[in-house]
């Protein structure tokens, strides 16, 4: 008993915080549900007859929407990380013929709204290039490039934060640029990149909700379809908000853990 | 007479408009220990960094052992990255701020060069690395990460890391300047041991007393030129030039003041 207590001592603070957060979230959800069901018992003038029961009929649609959202997130995060790594490394080049176009790409994607980009990729790009694209392809391309622009800055920032002495020491041992990047710089930079990369990936998941404007059947799109079918938009959007929250809360808690885990090893 | 191990001919280096090295020529024999002293900004660290090409000279020729590399001042003839890397691998560099790899243990730091650059098999590299750590007196710290080592221990690991490449020459860039005074001795002892073994070394240092003790040749640099060069008995004990006398005079005064309070020769920044 004693040993269990002493070993969990350093973690107990963050565990307490996490537990508190979950309790608060559950309490909020319960209060909301109670309020909604209580509305039927005779609330104020704007009383609305909440009925979450109708959702059960559409469970398979909602599950497929959620799976679509998760699948899109994974694909766009993986492709985006690849784009971000390549462009982030490319921007460290001393050749302006490489860095200038990369800078332009990053600024274009960072300085326009992602919703505008999605619509533009689907409607305008095929006209410009003559290439017909399905909504899924256009959305994947756009979200990956959008995420890549942000990942790119994270990668570049992580690398330039490593002390120049590390590069010199690796060079002095006779390492080529590729070797010193792989053996010395990236392992150190990666640790610093993990928390912001996590953050950006969480944003990516939320951004997939914009796919619904291109009629990609993600969680939000399915919700809209069901809402039209049932005239129950309030229940639907409430459910969808809770679904996103339920997926992201564990991920953010896990990301926080990673952050703490990599922290003390630094310096 | 055998040709010198290291030969520097007509070396020039400028950072933009600022000319740091003006036509330096030097010869160093195998097994010699050369101390470079001089006021800060005189170009001694830049010269050292040019010898292993961490700074790329604008013009001149550098020979280290078998390898010669030439710079004619035109950007188009810059040597390839691969030949720069090969050249650097034959020189061992020890930095003022150690620059150990923080994500590797002391042992992995020492193994890194042989494994990654020389493609030495891991088992062999580990055995050699342990022998080198024993040589600098840190075998019991093999599995420690750098942040758990003192400054003096870090610098000794850094020396072992450079030695692991079996370099033709060891270069020390103010290797004790960042250390607490009580830790300077352990690092100087390691360098002294290397000198006894016949390692060719070039030291940029502020430890005049140490330079006098271990160096075969002392180079006094001022404003990007070699102002004076010769055995320590001449350059330090009996300098010919006014600027050398003035520089050493300041050191003598401060080191005498220091040695009256304790017997450690302090580095003066």
| Chain B closest-CA separation from residue A166 CA (Å) | 6
Q: What are phi and psi of A158, to 5 degrees?
A: -60, -40
Pairwise CB contact (< 8 Å): B99 & A188: no
The whole-angstrom separation of Cα B176 and Cα B190 is 12
List the single range of A26-30, A139-143, B32-36, B233-237 with lowest mean pLDDT: A26-30
Q: Cβ-count burial of A96 within 10 angstroms (0-12 exposed, 13-18 middle, 19+ buried)?
A: exposed
Count of CA atoms in the C-beta half-sphere (13 A) of A101:
5
* Average pLDDT of chain A to the nearest whole number: 85
Selection from A9-13, A17-21, B40-44, B125-129 with the highest mean pLDDT: B125-129
pLDDT score at A252: 87
Question: Residue for token digits 């704007």?
Answer: A46
A80-97 pLDDT, tens per residue? 999 999 999 999 888 899
Closest CA to B158 of B185, B140, B138: B138
B35-84 pLDDT, tens per residue? 999 888 888 999 999 998 999 898 999 999 888 888 876 655 677 888 88
Residues 6+ apart with CB under 8 A from B7: B26, B27, B28, B61, B62, B63
Return the C-alpha torsion angle A172, A178, A182, A183, nearest 10: -20
Q: Does B103 touch chain A (CB under 8 A)?
A: yes
pLDDT of chain B, 269 residues: tens digit per residue: 567 899 999 999 998 888 899 989 999 999 999 999 988 888 899 999 999 899 989 899 999 988 888 887 665 567 788 888 988 999 999 999 999 999 999 999 999 999 999 999 999 999 999 999 999 999 999 999 999 999 999 999 999 999 999 999 999 999 998 899 889 999 999 999 999 999 999 999 988 888 988 999 999 998 899 988 989 888 888 888 888 888 888 776 665 555 544 444 444 43
The whole-angstrom separation of Cα B222 and Cα B39 is 7
Band (pLDDT 50/70/90 cuts) for residue A262 is low
Q: What are phi and psi of A153, to 5 degrees?
A: -65, -35
- Which of the residues A95, A171, A173, A262 would you substitute to probe the B interface, choosing the one with the greatest number of B C-beta atoms within 10 Å? A173
Closest CA to B163 of B244, B238, B237, B94: B94
Asked if this assembly's ipTM is beyond 0.90, the reply is no
Q: Which secondary-structure segment (H or E) carries B230?
A: strand B225-230
Pairwise CB contact (< 8 Å): A169 & B95: yes
pTM over 0.80, yes/no? no
- Which of the residues B117, B158, B159, B164 would you substitute to probe the A interface, choosing the one with the greatest number of A C-beta atoms within 10 Å? B117
Residues 6+ apart with CB under 8 A from A212: A218, A220, A221, A224
pLDDT above 70 covers a percentage of chain A that reads 87
Residue A50 has pLDDT above 70, yes or no: yes
| Chain A closest-CA separation from residue B253 CA (Å) | 34
């Amino acid at each position: 008993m004693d040993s269990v207590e002493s070993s969990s001592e350093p973690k107990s603070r963050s565990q307490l915080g996490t537990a508190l957060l979950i309790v608060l979230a559950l309490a909020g959800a319960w209060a909301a549900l109670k309020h909604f069901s209580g509305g039927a018992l005779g609330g104020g003038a704007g009383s609305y007859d909440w009925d979450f029961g109708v959702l059960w009929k559409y469970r398979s649609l909602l599950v497929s929407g959620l799976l679509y959202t998760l699948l899109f997130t994974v694909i766009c995060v993986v492709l985006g990380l690849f784009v971000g790594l390549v462009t982030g490394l490319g921007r460290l080049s001393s050749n302006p013929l490489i860095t200038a176009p990369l800078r332009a790409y990053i600024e274009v994607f960072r300085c326009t709204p992602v919703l505008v980009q999605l619509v533009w990729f689907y409607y305008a790009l095929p006209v410009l290039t003559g290439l017909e694209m399905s909504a899924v392809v256009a959305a994947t391309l756009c979200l990956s490039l959008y995420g890549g622009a942000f990942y790119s800055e994270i990668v570049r920032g992580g690398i330039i934060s490593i002390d120049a002495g590390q590069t010199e020491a690796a060079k002095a041992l006779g390492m080529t640029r590729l070797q010193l990047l792989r053996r010395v710089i990236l392992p150190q930079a990666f640790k610093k990149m993990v928390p912001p990369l996590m953050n950006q990936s969480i944003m990516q998941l939320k951004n997939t909700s914009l796919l619904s404007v291109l009629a990609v059947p993600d969680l939000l799109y399915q919700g809209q379809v069901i809402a039209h079918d049932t005239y129950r938009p309030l229940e639907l959007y409430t459910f969808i908000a809770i679904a996103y929250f339920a997926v992201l809360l564990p991920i953010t808690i896990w990301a926080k853990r990673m952050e703490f885990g990599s922290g003390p090893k630094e310096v | 007479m055998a040709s010198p191990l290291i030969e520097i001919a007509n070396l020039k280096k400028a950072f933009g408009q600022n000319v740091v090295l003006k036509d330096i020529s030097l010869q160093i024999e195998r097994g010699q220990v050369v101390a470079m002293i001089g006021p800060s900004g005189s170009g001694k660290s830049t010269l050292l960094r040019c010898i292993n090409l961490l700074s790329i000279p604008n013009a001149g020729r550098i020979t280290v052992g078998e390898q010669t590399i030439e710079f004619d001042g035109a950007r188009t003839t810059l040597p390839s990255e691969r030949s720069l890397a090969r050249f650097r691998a034959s020189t061992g560099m020890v930095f003022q701020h150690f620059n150990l790899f923080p994500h590797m243990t002391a042992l992995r730091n020492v193994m890194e060069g042989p494994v990654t650059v020389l493609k030495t098999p891991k088992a062999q590299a580990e055995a050699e690395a342990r022998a080198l750590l024993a040589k600098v007196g840190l075998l019991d710290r093999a599995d420690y990460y750098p942040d758990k080592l003192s400054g003096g221990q870090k610098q000794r690991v850094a020396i072992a890391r450079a030695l692991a490449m079996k370099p033709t020459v060891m270069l020390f860039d103010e290797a004790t300047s960042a250390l607490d005074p009580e830790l300077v001795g352990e690092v100087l002892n390691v360098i002294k041991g290397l000198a006894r073994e016949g390692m060719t070394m070039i030291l940029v240092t502020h430890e005049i007393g140490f330079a006098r003790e271990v160096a075969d040749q002392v180079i006094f640099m001022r404003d990007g030129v070699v102002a004076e060069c010769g055995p320590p008995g001449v350059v330090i004990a009996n300098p010919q030039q006014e600027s050398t006398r003035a520089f050493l005079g300041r050191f003598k005064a401060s080191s005498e003041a220091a040695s009256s309070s304790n017997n450690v020769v302090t580095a003066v920044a």
